[in-house]
């Protein structure tokens, strides 16, 4: 008997092998096969390919015992591959890794240590929300749990998961950032009395092997993880929770490009299980689905224990002129009031490093990345200028036109600059930076969390990652250094992302206090988005945004696919884009816009040009587009990247 085997590699097709008819093989079994001069791991797949003629068919070497994936996951991989226009083999690789190394070693699944359970009681709103979510009887259904930051949404879905596990099923909780998993892990332990399995790109190969075995054998019941955990081969998945569903970090924009939130909904559909989307302000797409009654919706209005949302204060930087610094005097006075009460303060600035760019005041030299068309950001901690796209680093010292060293002016603040400024303004307080550059090691992250929770840090200087789900009990004052709602013109979601960011950020303050404050320092105090935010009226923004999107034929009222054409020669990428557009125009249902240069023209030495495809969102034309692109005869010096449902247009 002959079968098709899919390899976890870049192939979009299967390979034909002979089966030993005496052995019991089935679809989804993980097998070892001869492939060229090597042996590889693959999965017995759907029989869709025609059997090749006049070719010697090799035999499957052996079956890997106790490892298989089910038909639901096979169907999901096929759909995922079609929708996102990526090879099936690469999607399989996301499920089982490279293959051989995962199955060689006999790693034992350790029994989870029992941890003392902390008992929580739900309030009336939380109980009502839980009952509403549970009223779907275990079948596919999308429910949205919306609630103010600090309203106890997490406790609601913890209770939901608890009942799923009691039914001997598995639960997956998706989080938008790796950094969130450590703090969430301790909250899970307190509630459930055992450690959940944590899955993200930084866990060790050994832990990946152990978790894969536990999931396939239904010995691991609870997984918390970042995007890639969505693809794991669960034996008996019972529910998916997508926390902070609106977060753009769910979009993976390198390698296999996909939106984990959208793919989670699809996986739940294939598994025929419920999925709960959790957010303080839903994404525009989710809000539209709520309005159209495609998604069920329940809202928690009050914060846990009835603590109020923070008071707000706008400091107009046009009136409060600031010279050679970024923190207004009025802000400093407000902050001192909270520090006197031994309460924590957060200064928020969404820029890493010390200064976004440097210019010599004598010769005008600007530090640019040699490989990307981007300014380098100066990092004082390293005393180097760094490209945040490719990681290129260089020393800033250089000779000026008069043979002296360049005298650089540093424009715009980053976290390091604000750290320096707060040290001068508050010399007697303990100050720390909360940024990915300073939290690369697990022990550093855990140490910082402990200091924050033990109130051993007075002032935090944080970037965007601090807005996402962290719970700091003593934090009662937040200062937004530069509340900017302008966007940059190439991101249709800029306003949406800003209102979600600042709304989440405000929710980090006053979780256990009735007197908290968020200060917005801004050059645009009359901005409509800022005022909707202060009035705590996100629905008005979402309504306005839907009207704007509909009038401009933008998602969710149309579907977009970006095609990025890159080459080390600028003319070649543009000519290639023009040729591709001519071919794409043969598909009548498509509107093809461009080509235009990407806003970030050059990344990693390659010039980038873009086409944008728009079509009716009731159609799935990916198969047609993929067939056309796969049959193109273009220069080998050109690389094509396809981004289905792009989040931005950089």
Residue 382 pLDDT: 81
Max CA pair span of the chain = 84
Other Cβ atoms less than 10 A from the Cβ of 283: the count is 22
Residue 19 pLDDT: 83
- Alpha-carbon span 227 to 247, nearest angstrom: 12
Residue in the block written with tokens 């309203």: 151
Residue 361 pLDDT: 79
Q: What is the mean pLDDT of residues 417-435?
A: 89
Residue 51 pLDDT: 65
* pLDDT of 438 strictly over 90: no
Which carries the bigger pLDDT value, residue 99 or residue 423? 423
Measure the CA dihedral 535/538/539/545, to 10°: 120
- Confidence grade of residue 602 (pLDDT, cut at 50, 70, 90): confident
Which two three-digit tokens encode residue 169?
Answer: 């099923």
Q: What is the mean pLDDT of residues 565-582?
A: 92
Residue 7 pLDDT: 94
* pLDDT of 145 strictly over 90: yes
- Alpha-carbon span 263 to 279, nearest angstrom: 17
Positions of E strands within 160-305:
170-174, 197-199, 222-225, 237-243, 251-252, 258-259, 274-279, 296-300
Residue 217 pLDDT: 86
Residue 442 pLDDT: 60
Per-residue buried b or exposed e for 239-272, using 16+ beta carbons within 10 Å of the residue's own CB: bbbbbbbbbbbbbbeeebbbbbbbbbbbbbbbbe
Q: What is the mean pLDDT of residues 623-644?
A: 90
Q: What is the mean pLDDT of residues 194-215?
A: 86
The side-by-side arrangement of strands in the sheet containing 62-68 is 15-18, 2-6, 38-45, 29-35, 62-68
Q: What is the mean pLDDT of residues 586-610?
A: 90
Other Cβ atoms less than 10 A from the Cβ of 564: the count is 22
- Alpha-carbon span 507 to 30, nearest angstrom: 46
Cβ(180)–Cβ(508) under 8 Å?
no
**624: nearest Cα among 595, 590, 581, 579:** 590
Which carries the bigger pLDDT value, residue 244 or residue 508? 244
Q: What is the mean pLDDT of residues 334-360?
A: 84
- Confidence grade of residue 182 (pLDDT, cut at 50, 70, 90): low
Residue 322 pLDDT: 66
Q: Tell me the domains of the chain and their CATH numbers.
A: 2-104 (3.40.1440.60), 124-304 (3.40.50.300), 307-351+413-546 (3.40.50.300), 559-644 (3.30.70.600)
* pLDDT of 446 strictly over 80: no
* pLDDT of 464 strictly over 80: no
Cα distance between the two ends of the chain: 50
Residue 422 pLDDT: 93
**330: nearest Cα among 313, 345, 347:** 313
Calculate what percentage of the chain has a pLDDT beyond 70: 89
504-548 pLDDT tens trace: 777 777 666 778 888 988 887 777 777 767 766 778 888 988 998
- Confidence grade of residue 585 (pLDDT, cut at 50, 70, 90): very high
Q: How many residues does the chain have?
A: 650
Which two three-digit tokens encode residue 41?
Answer: 């791991």
Residue 50 pLDDT: 65
- Confidence grade of residue 377 (pLDDT, cut at 50, 70, 90): confident
Which two three-digit tokens encode residue 125?
Answer: 């709103």
- Alpha-carbon span 156 to 191, nearest angstrom: 11
- Confidence grade of residue 37 (pLDDT, cut at 50, 70, 90): confident
- Strands 38-45, 2-6: pairing is antiparallel
Before 595, cis peptide (omega within 30)? Answer: yes
- Alpha-carbon span 528 to 526, nearest angstrom: 6
* pLDDT of 118 strictly over 70: yes
Which region holds residue 218: left if phi is over 0, alpha if psi is between -120 and 50, else beta? left
* pLDDT of 260 strictly over 90: yes
Most confident range, picked from 171-185, 197-211, 563-577: 563-577
* pLDDT of 460 strictly over 80: yes
Q: What is the mean pLDDT of residues 121-134?
A: 93
- Confidence grade of residue 292 (pLDDT, cut at 50, 70, 90): very high
- Confidence grade of residue 448 (pLDDT, cut at 50, 70, 90): confident
Most confident range, picked from 295-309, 483-497, 623-637: 623-637
Q: What is the mean pLDDT of residues 445-461?
A: 81
Cβ(337)–Cβ(449) under 8 Å?
no
Tell me the angle at which helices 71-84 and 88-96 cross, rounded to the nearest 10 degrees: 130
Residue 258 pLDDT: 97
277-288 pLDDT tens trace: 999 889 999 999
């Amino acid at each position: 008997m002959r079968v098709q085997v899919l390899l976890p590699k870049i192939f979009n097709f299967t390979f034909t092998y002979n089966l030993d008819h005496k052995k019991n093989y089935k679809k989804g079994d993980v097998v070892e096969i001869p492939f060229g001069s090597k042996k590889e791991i693959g999965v017995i797949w759907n029989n869709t390919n025609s059997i090749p003629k006049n070719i010697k068919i090799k035999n499957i070497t052996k079956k890997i015992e106790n490892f298989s994936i089910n038909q639901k996951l096979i169907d999901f991989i096929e759909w995922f591959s079609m929708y996102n226009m990526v090879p099936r083999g690469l999607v399989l690789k996301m499920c089982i890794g490279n293959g051989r190394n995962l199955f060689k070693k006999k790693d034992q699944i350790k029994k989870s240590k029992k941890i003392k359970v902390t008992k929580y009681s739900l309030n009336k709103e939380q109980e009502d929300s839980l009952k509403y979510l549970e009223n779907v009887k275990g079948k596919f259904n999308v429910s949205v749990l919306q609630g103010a930051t600090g309203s106890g949404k997490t406790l609601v879905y913890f209770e939901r998961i608890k009942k799923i596990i009691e039914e001997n099923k598995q639960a997956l909780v998706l989080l938008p950032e790796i950094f969130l998993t450590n703090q969430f892990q301790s909250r899970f332990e307190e509630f459930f009395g055992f450690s959940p399995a944590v899955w993200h790109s930084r866990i060790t190969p050994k832990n990946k092997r152990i978790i894969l075995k536990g999931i396939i054998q239904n010995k691991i019941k609870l997984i918390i993880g970042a995007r890639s955990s969505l693809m794991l081969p669960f034996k008996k998945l019972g529910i998916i929770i997508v926390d902070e569903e609106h977060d753009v970090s769910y979009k993976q924009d390198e390698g296999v490009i996909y939106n984990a939130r959208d793919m989670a909904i699809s996986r739940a559909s294939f598994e025929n299980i419920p999925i709960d989307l959790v957010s303080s302000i839903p994404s525009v797409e989710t809000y539209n689905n709520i309005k159209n009654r495609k998604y069920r919706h329940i809202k928690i209005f009050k914060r846990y224990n009835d603590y109020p949302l923070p008071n707000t204060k706008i400091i107009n930087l046009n009136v409060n002129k600031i010279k050679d610094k970024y923190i207004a005097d009025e802000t400093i006075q407000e902050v001192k009031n909270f520090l006197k009460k031994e309460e924590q303060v957060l200064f928020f600035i969404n820029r890493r490093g010390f200064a976004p760019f440097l210019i010599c005041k004598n010769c005008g030299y600007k530090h640019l990345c040699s490989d990307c068309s981007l300014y380098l950001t100066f990092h004082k901690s390293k005393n180097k200028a760094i490209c945040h796209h490719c990681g290129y680093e260089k020393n800033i010292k250089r000779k000026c036109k008069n043979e002296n060293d360049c005298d650089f002016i540093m424009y715009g603040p980053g976290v390091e600059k604000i750290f320096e400024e707060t040290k001068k303004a508050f010399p007697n307080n303990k100050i720390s930076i909360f940024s990915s550059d300073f939290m690369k090691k697990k022990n550093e992250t855990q140490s910082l969390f402990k200091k924050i929770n033990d109130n051993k840090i007075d002032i935090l200087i944080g970037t965007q990652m601090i807005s996402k789900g962290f719970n700091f009990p003593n934090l009662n004052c937040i200062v937004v250094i530069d509340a900017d709602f302008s966007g940059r013109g190439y991101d249709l979601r800029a306003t949406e992302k800003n209102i979600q960011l600042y709304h989440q950020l405000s929710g980090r303050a006053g979780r256990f206090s009735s007197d908290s404050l968020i200060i917005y320092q801004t050059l645009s105090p009359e901005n409509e988005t800022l005022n909707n935010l202060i009035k705590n009226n996100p629905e008005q923004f979402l309504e306005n945004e839907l009207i704007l999107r509909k009038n401009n034929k933008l998602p969710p009222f149309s579907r977009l696919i970006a095609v990025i054409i890159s080459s080390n020669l600028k003319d070649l990428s543009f000519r290639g884009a023009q040729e591709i557009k001519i071919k794409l125009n043969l598909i009548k249902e498509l509107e093809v816009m461009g080509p235009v240069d990407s806003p970030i023209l050059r990344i990693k030495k390659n010039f980038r040009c873009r086409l944008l495809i728009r079509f009716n969102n009731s159609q799935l034309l990916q198969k047609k587009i993929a067939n056309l692109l796969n049959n193109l005869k273009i220069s080998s010096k050109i690389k094509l990247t396809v981004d289905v449902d792009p989040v931005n247009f950089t």
